[in-house]
Structure 1
Amino acid sequence: MRILLTGSSGWLGRTLAPRLRRAGHDVTGLDVAPGAATDVIGSVCDGALVARVLAEHGIEAIIHAGGLHKPDIVRAMRQDFVDVNVTGTLTLLEAALAAGHDRFVFTSTTSLMISEAIRAETGEATFWLDESTGPLAPRNIYGVTKLAAEGLCRLFAREHGLACVVLRTGRFFPEEDDSDRGLTGPNLKANEFLNRRLTVEDAAEAHLAALDRAPSLGFGLYVVAAPTPFRRSDAAELCRDAAAVVARLYPDATDLYAARGWRLPSRIGRVYDAALAERDLGFRCRTTFATILDALREERDLPFAHDPAYASPWATHSAGGVYR
């Protein structure tokens, strides 16, 4: 299949493109910044460019992995988020419809599910988040525009029959996070595989599964994260003493962590449940918290990326220019 991959120079795109090619697909990468997987430099906001690329390359399906992300809030205007994440998605959907495509895969985010109340994590029980969570109240322009783009995908599936799959991915970025700075980066990332993270490799594989299943689904929306070892009945204890719950499930976790100078989480305020993606897409993340403990036990490299110096290709290429 001939596929247009947007965001091909990004962290996900550069990982997804070679996997698509190994699966036998012909990939054309589109991004505003150059990269090894990028064939066309340009913006999803440029309707004429998108139409030309689809025609010249005989594109049969689109994976829309490009867009502005949470770290871009500090360097982009709100209008940029609307232009790229909303209008850009609409441009691609209209182009896919005009070209007669039968599938469209959109990379969304679990971030749009996090209201201020959930983010505060001050409740007496862990929030259990899945596709039924709502009403949604995104707390920043990133979440607002991603939710709007999801709505466009749903609209095109319902009104035009364009099969759309939306993937609300958990965290897979390599850079440092802006929370819980009392932990080292790798320690924090390892902890997050209990409830909210996945590897970029698993994120890429989820897109392959979505591409394959889209026509049979019509419309599908899925949370994508490493499978949590917790049950809903753990919710109260996870807020009181998460480390005790983890130690009960993984008896040597405390010692393995101590050997690295790491700490288990004392409190877990939210859990992403990816069970629906496993059921409908036949997809399950390969890297889990148990995988990380195996690496610690066997003194192997950690199975996830951590790079505090990472910056998006757009940020390094444009040094603060506009996104269109």
Structure 2
Amino acid sequence: MREQRRERAPDGVATVTGSSGLVGTAVAAALATAGWSVRGFDRAPGRWTSVIGDLRDPQARRAALRQSHIVVHAAALHAPHVGQVDDREFHAVNVGATEALLEEAERVGVRRIVYISSTSVYGHALIPTDQAVWVDEGLEPRPRDIYDETKLAAERLIASAAATSAVLRIARCFPEPPPVLATHLLHRAVGLTDVAAAITRLAERDTTTGTFNIAGPYPFTRADCPALHHDAASVIAERLPDVAAAFHARHWPLPQSLDRVYDSSAAATAFGYRPLYGIHQMLRTRGNGPESAQLV
């Protein structure tokens, strides 16, 4: 992973594939706010989708990439599709369409590719033994299903692209019940605004390359991993007494064990990623009692 200290001003077209999806919508909005002319591409209509089509269609690819300076590739089949969609379709969409997109991008001279991958690619490596798994980019992925396999295969294609490229392995960022989300924001979830901010920074720093975890601001260190696996509730109560009190006030159980902690420090070093949406922000914005005012 490396960065040359040169930033480019947003002065061109940014194509966002999967622009009608949860992540794509947030990314497209952030890029537009940053000054990019956004061209959204998706099979379904959406606020930011101006080209509707399938990436496996050559005409659709040409329309999506015409005069583009940067491509943010978020379109994919996802984990919920496992078992519902044939494995061959997973390969066709997640790998074959990505390869075709890169070929078209090279033909028209796209300068920058940012690929939205997932921390799910770590797969079986996320299973703890005697301590929580500290998940940085040095952890070797061990795919557990067709989704992980195809996302990892697409990462390799992106890394070999003619344009400068970066891969973002984003943590979970979809809607969940408040008690579940609160626990996940302690160690394995990320806010959509932070994902979009990371991509916007990478769009401007077009010589930053590599693979980066994108996760939330967590209160733990690698040294906490043994205790987090065996008695997470005590660690949380000691480290974050206000959060423990907020869980108690809401009648949410503190987790007794955490299986992993995602580490985004490589992204912080490489391009200044600073996640802002964490457990305190979630409890403030979703507070349902006077205890929320005491959170800092």
**Do both share a fold (TM > 0.5)?**
yes
Aligned to 1:192: 184
* 8 Å Cα contact 2:181/2:189 also seen in 1: yes
Aligned to 1:32: 43
In structure 2, relative to structure 1, the CA distance for the partners of 1:198 and 1:33 (3 Å cut) is same
Aligned to 2:202: 210
Aligned to 1:21: 32
* 8 Å Cα contact 1:193/1:228 also seen in 2: yes
Listed one character per residue, the Cα deviations across residues 284-321 of structure 1 (whole Å, up to 9, x for unaligned) are: 111112323445476669xxxxxxxxxxxxxxxxxxxx
Listed one character per residue, the Cα deviations across residues 7-63 of structure 1 (whole Å, up to 9, x for unaligned) are: 0110111222222111111111110111121111111222332123323xx222111
* 8 Å Cα contact 2:77/2:94 also seen in 1: yes
Q: 1:124 aligns with which of 116, 130, 152?
A: 130
* 8 Å Cα contact 1:7/1:30 also seen in 2: yes
- Give ranges in structure 1 of 5+ residues lacking alignment: 177-184, 302-324
Aligned to 2:169: 168
Residue pairs, 1:1-324, within 5 angstroms: 1-55=12-66, 58-115=67-124, 118-119=126-127, 121=128, 123-134=129-140, 136-156=141-161, 160=162, 162-174=163-175, 176=176, 185-213=177-205, 215-217=206-208, 219-295=209-285, 296=287
1:118 Cα offset (Å)? 2.8
Q: Give the Cα–Cα distance (whole angstroms) in 1 for the partners of residues 279 and 98 of structure 2.
A: 34
* 8 Å Cα contact 2:246/2:292 also seen in 1: no
Letter in 2 for 1:138: P
Residue aligned with 2:46, SS: coil
Q: Give the Cα–Cα distance (whole angstroms) in 2 for the partners of residues 298 and 280 of structure 1.
A: 40
- TM-score (structure 2 length as normaliser): 0.90
Q: Give the Cα–Cα distance (whole angstroms) in 1 for the partners of residues 292 and 102 of structure 2.
A: 44
In structure 2, relative to structure 1, the CA distance for the partners of 1:118 and 1:259 (3 Å cut) is same
Q: Give the Cα–Cα distance (whole angstroms) in 1 for the partners of residues 165 and 292 of structure 2.
A: 39
* 8 Å Cα contact 1:5/1:65 also seen in 2: yes
- TM-score (structure 1 length as normaliser): 0.82
Q: Give the Cα–Cα distance (whole angstroms) in 1 for the partners of residues 73 and 244 of structure 2.
A: 40
Question: What is the aligned residue count?
Answer: 280
Q: Give the Cα–Cα distance (whole angstroms) in 1 for the partners of residues 291 and 265 of structure 2.
A: 30
Letter in 2 for 1:188: V
Residue aligned with 1:60, SS: strand
Residue aligned with 1:67, SS: coil
In structure 2, relative to structure 1, the CA distance for the partners of 1:173 and 1:107 (3 Å cut) is same
Q: Give the Cα–Cα distance (whole angstroms) in 2 for the partners of residues 283 and 148 of structure 1.
A: 25
Listed one character per residue, the Cα deviations across residues 67-90 of structure 1 (whole Å, up to 9, x for unaligned) are: 111011143111111011101111
Q: Give the Cα–Cα distance (whole angstroms) in 1 for the partners of residues 103 and 172 of structure 2.
A: 29
- Taking only aligned residues, the RMSD between alpha carbons, in angstroms, comes to 1.8
Q: Give the Cα–Cα distance (whole angstroms) in 2 for the partners of residues 118 and 27 of structure 1.
A: 36
1:249 Cα offset (Å)? 0.9
Q: Give the Cα–Cα distance (whole angstroms) in 2 for the partners of residues 228 and 110 of structure 1.
A: 16
1:254 Cα offset (Å)? 2.3
Percent identity for Structure 1 against Structure 2: 36
Q: Give the Cα–Cα distance (whole angstroms) in 1 for the partners of residues 180 and 231 of structure 2.
A: 17
In structure 2, relative to structure 1, the CA distance for the partners of 1:254 and 1:300 (3 Å cut) is closer
Which is worse superposed, 40-49 or 147-156?
Answer: 40-49
1:221 Cα offset (Å)? 0.7
Listed one character per residue, the Cα deviations across residues 89-137 of structure 1 (whole Å, up to 9, x for unaligned) are: 111111111111221000000001121x634x4x111111111111x21
* 8 Å Cα contact 1:227/1:275 also seen in 2: no
- Give ranges in structure 2 of 5+ residues lacking alignment: 1-11
Q: Give the Cα–Cα distance (whole angstroms) in 2 for the partners of residues 148 and 3 of structure 1.
A: 24
Letter in 1 for 2:81: D
